[in-house]
């Protein structure tokens, strides 16, 4: 629950989807008032299915974010969503999102067979989404990419590009080419986002000092300002739950 009017709920995918899906979630504004928020980068690729009393059902794909984005959770809006890990771009969505950096695009309103009625029951939506994703899982994937993302997530983005290259047996230039072609950003930039995401969890606990392998406090402050638009102290205060990351919101 973000506040008394806005509810949030999520489920984590079963093990067969864990390399591709971060979580399946819902966000509902039950009030008659809009809520202004700032969405912070978290490294995920989000597929939204949305409707409200004033807006028709629609489907939107949001690329990876590298900066804070002001947004509005409109009154009476219901959003069901799938937060994908980047590996899904190639193997599930099967398209590059390099042109969607800090952007979104509308998809067909019947994408994957979803309709407005699917937003009436979150459990049924989650099961339908899981079945759909499982139906298009590839039989074979590049093991280097799996290992690369495992290392990024397990280290919270702390490993350098050189360290990742050595552990994955994949050249730095090739890895950066892959990231730029698929996601529109460099590998280092993505690692910085993952590190910031882990740092945001600490900041919400009131920890103002870097915990994620930043070189010093000044470096930590610069990175937070770059990705959040404010300094760490302002994030700690987070008045009215203004700053949110979909992937780190607590369950209702």
pLDDT in tens, the chain (252 residues): 455 688 899 999 889 999 999 999 999 998 899 999 999 999 999 999 999 888 899 999 999 999 999 999 999 999 999 999 999 999 999 999 999 999 999 999 999 999 999 999 999 999 999 999 999 999 999 999 999 999 999 999 999 999 999 999 999 999 999 999 999 999 999 999 999 998 887 787 777 776 667 778 888 889 899 999 999 888 888 755 788 887 777 654
Q: Are residues 154 and 237 in the same domain?
A: yes
pLDDT at 198: 87
- Indicate whether 81 and 158 sit together in one domain: no
Within 8 A by CB and 6+ apart from 102, the residues are: 63, 64, 65, 66, 67, 69
**Positive or negative torsion for Cα 9, 199, 105, 93:** negative
Q: Check which CATH number belongs to the domain holding 48 and give it.
A: 2.60.40
Residues 125 and 203 in one domain: no
User: Residues 100-141: pLDDT tens digits?
Assistant: 999 999 999 999 999 999 999 999 999 999 999 999 999 999
| Stated pTM of the model | 0.92
Q: Are 249 and 241 in contact (CB under 8 A)?
A: no
Check whether residue 11 and residue 135 sit in a common domain: yes
Kindly report, residue by residue over 214-243, the tens digit of the pLDDT.
778 888 889 899 999 999 888 888 755 788
Residue 167 sits in the same domain as residue 183: yes
């Amino acid at each position: 629950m973000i506040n008394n009017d806005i509810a949030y709920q999520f489920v984590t995918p079963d093990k067969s989807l864990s390399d591709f899906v971060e979580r399946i979630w819902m966000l509902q504004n039950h009030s008659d008032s809009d809520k202004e928020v700032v969405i912070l980068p978290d490294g995920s690729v989000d597929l939204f299915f949305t409707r409200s009393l004033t807006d028709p059902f629609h489907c939107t794909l949001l690329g990876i974010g590298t900066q804070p984005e002001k947004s509005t959770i409109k009154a009476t809006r219901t959003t069901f969503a799938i937060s994908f890990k980047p590996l899904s771009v190639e193997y599930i969505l099967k398209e590059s999102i390099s042109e969607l950096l800090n952007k979104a695009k509308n998809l067909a309103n019947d994408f994957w067979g979803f309709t407005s009625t699917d937003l009436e029951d979150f459990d049924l939506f989650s099961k339908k989404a899981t079945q759909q994703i499982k139906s298009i899982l590839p039989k074979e994937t590049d093991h280097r990419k799996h290992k690369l993302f495992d290392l990024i997530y397990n280290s919270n983005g702390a490993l350098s590009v050189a360290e990742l290259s050595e552990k994955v047996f994949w050249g730095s230039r090739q890895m950066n080419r892959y990231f730029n072609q698929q996601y529109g950003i460099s590998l280092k930039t993505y690692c910085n986002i993952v590190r910031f995401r882990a740092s945001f969890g600490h900041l919400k606990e009131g920890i103002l000092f870097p915990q994620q392998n930043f070189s010093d406090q000044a470096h930590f402050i610069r990175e937070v300002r770059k990705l959040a638009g404010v300094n760490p102290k302002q994030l700690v205060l987070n008045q009215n739950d203004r700053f949110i990351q979909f992937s780190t919101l607590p369950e209702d």
